[in-house]
């Protein structure tokens, strides 16, 4: 059930690992798209704008949760590559304890502050109630977010990128059924869409848990391995918290930008919400490449096969370039049709909304290759064990989006908002590409021509373990 990524052609291994991960992310985006389509078509532009206006704060909180879980999975991948199953199981157990703690704290805090956050973000009055009803339910579902993302991250760290896809497919079907049941049958409005999303993710997480208990003998723990361990928690936090903060710091810029878009009016909020859904679907391959590179680099660092790091980054970057060109050409032709998937043709402003949404989609897709590098290189750095470096990239993204939101959007309006994310991706790449070279160089200095020396289990300072290679 596990897969070794430390031997064989990097291009072949990365492609084979990324494809199942991509399908899983497409399923995840699929049921998010269904939410948006049902909300936009059945509940109207105001409801769609309300859901869309929560996108940045949603990313701020849920992105932190996902980043933490991805970070927790890196020591698991490194110990898997190092051939140390007992240490790997100890990391899995302590990741579970930490996830429970994080979930309780974040759910409580966001639930209490939800209305105040939307007020600070200048959410338009005509969509405020929709925004609150949606995001409050999403925040209450944070434990489900931790459950699925932690277990899926652990499974991928073991080299299995297929199993999480099966459960996401199941949850996608469930989400669609619940959408129609809650929104049409029970008239639950946007809260029904949020409940469907949370419930579906919880089901996929629980399915992963039962499957792991039955099918992965390597994860069967002794009583000693299940106990909380301060050293393991420290290593996990040194990887998970920086990755979570990287998402959240990036989201700060998105929140500032969203506030500026909110000030333009609900029409522009709706256009960005619809365009963002198309962009998120198109960007799934880049997310899959990033998740793949985290596991690939983690296992190869654990096995001290440092020559394969640069080979893998180059191979994955070629894949990113090829897909970016195809996606951009497709959007030049089909962006208006994609926009209409989320807009009600009966809306009075549908022509203007379609034009605004199309403009957003085309501008984003024109900069997809810089986005691919952000995901590939950032996750590679994190897989190598240098998670704090990713925070600096997040700071650059935040600065770019904040500058556009505070300075350019008030001056130039909606078009400036469309260029905010592309500018953030370019700024991040200017740091990440040379940083990745520096990380590989540092690892080579730490372990020059010495395959018997163990690679770092956490960022910059290596943590020694007993096994030798």
Q: Which of 23, 107, 32, 36 is nearest to 65 (CA)?
A: 107
Sign, Cα dihedral of 388, 393, 399, 405: negative
Say what the pLDDT of residue 147 is. 95
Contact yes or no for 121/262 (Cβ under 8 A)? yes
Identify the band that residue 1 occupies on the pLDDT scale cut at 50, 70 and 90: low
Round the average pLDDT of the chain to a whole number and report it.
85
- Cα 274 from Cα 448, distance rounded (Å): 51
pLDDT tens for 396-449 read 888 999 999 889 999 998 999 999 999 999 999 999 999 999 999 999 888 765
Q: Which of 59, 19, 145 is nearest to 424 (CA)?
A: 59
Contact yes or no for 363/419 (Cβ under 8 A)? yes
317: pLDDT strictly greater than 80: yes
Contact yes or no for 205/151 (Cβ under 8 A)? yes
Contact yes or no for 28/280 (Cβ under 8 A)? no
Least confident of 69-73, 147-151, 330-334, 385-389: 385-389
pLDDT tens for 212-241 read 888 888 888 999 999 999 999 999 998 889
Contact yes or no for 242/390 (Cβ under 8 A)? yes
Q: Count how many residues are written for the chain.
A: 469
User: Percent of the chain scored above 70 by pLDDT?
Assistant: 92
Say what the pLDDT of residue 461 is. 35
68: pLDDT strictly greater than 90: yes
Say what the pLDDT of residue 245 is. 84
- Cα 55 from Cα 123, distance rounded (Å): 12
What is the SS3 assignment for 65?
Answer: helix
Q: Which of 132, 101, 404, 58 is nearest to 261 (CA)?
A: 404
53: pLDDT strictly greater than 90: no
Determine the average pLDDT of the residues in 358-365: 94
Q: CB within 8 A of 406, min separation 6: which ones? A: 256, 260
Identify the band that residue 347 occupies on the pLDDT scale cut at 50, 70 and 90: low
Identify the band that residue 465 occupies on the pLDDT scale cut at 50, 70 and 90: very low
Q: What is the pTM of this model?
A: 0.73
Q: Fill in the DSSP letter of residue 7.
A: S
Q: Which of 389, 429, 385 is nearest to 297 (CA)?
A: 385
């Amino acid at each position: 059930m596990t897969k070794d990524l430390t031997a064989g052609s990097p291009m072949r291994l990365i492609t084979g690992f990324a494809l199942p991960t991509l399908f899983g992310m497409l399923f995840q985006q699929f049921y998010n798209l269904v939410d948006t389509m049902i909300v936009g078509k059945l509940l109207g532009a105001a409801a769609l704008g309300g859901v869309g206006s929560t996108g940045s704060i949603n990313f701020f909180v849920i992105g932190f949760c996902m980043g933490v879980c991805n970070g927790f999975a890196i020591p698991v991948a490194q110990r898997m590559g190092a051939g140390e199953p007992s240490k790997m199981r100890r990391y899995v157990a302590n990741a579970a304890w930490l996830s429970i703690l994080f979930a309780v704290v974040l759910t409580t805090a966001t639930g209490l502050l939800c209305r105040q956050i939307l007020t600070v973000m200048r959410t338009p009055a005509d969509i405020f109630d929709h925004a609150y009803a949606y995001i409050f339910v999403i925040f209450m579902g944070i434990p489900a977010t931790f459950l699925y993302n932690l277990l899926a991250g652990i499974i991928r760290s073991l080299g299995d990128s297929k199993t999480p896809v099966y459960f996401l497919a199941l949850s996608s079907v469930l989400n669609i059924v619940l959408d129609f049941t809650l929104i049409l049958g029970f008239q639950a409005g946007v809260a029904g869409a949020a409940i469907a999303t949370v419930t579906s993710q919880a089901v996929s997480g629980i399915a992963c848990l039962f499957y792991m208990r039955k099918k992965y003998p390597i994860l069967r723990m002794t009583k000693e391995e299940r106990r909380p361990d301060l050293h393991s928690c420290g290593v996990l936090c040194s990887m998970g918290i920086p990755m979570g903060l990287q998402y959240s710091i990036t989201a700060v810029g998105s929140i500032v930008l969203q506030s500026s878009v909110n000030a333009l009016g609900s029409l522009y909020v709706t256009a960005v919400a619809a365009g963002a859904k198309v962009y998120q679907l198109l960007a799934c391959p880049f997310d899959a490449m990033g998740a793949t590179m985290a596991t690939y680099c983690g296992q190869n660092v654990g096995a001290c096969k440092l020559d394969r790091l640069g080979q893998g980054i180059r191979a994955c970057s070629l894949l990113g370039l090829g897909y970016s060109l195809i996606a951009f050409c497709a959007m030049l032709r089909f962006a208006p049709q994609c926009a209409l998937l989320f807009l009600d043709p009966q809306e009075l402003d549908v022509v203007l909304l379609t034009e605004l949404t199309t403009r957003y989609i085309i501008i984003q897709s024109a900069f997809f290759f810089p986005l691919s590098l952000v995901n590939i290189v950032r996750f590679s750095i994190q897989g190598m064990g240098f998670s704090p470096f990713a925070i600096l990239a997040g700071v650059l993204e935040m600065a770019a989006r904040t500058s556009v939101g505070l300075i350019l959007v008030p001056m130039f309006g909606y078009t400036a908002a469309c260029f905010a994310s592309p500018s953030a991706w370019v700024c991040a790449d200017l740091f990440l590409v040379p940083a990745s070279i520096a990380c590989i160089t540092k690892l080579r200095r730490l372990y020059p021509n010495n395959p018997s020396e163990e690679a770092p289990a956490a960022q910059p300072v290596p943590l020694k373990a007993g096994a030798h290679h």
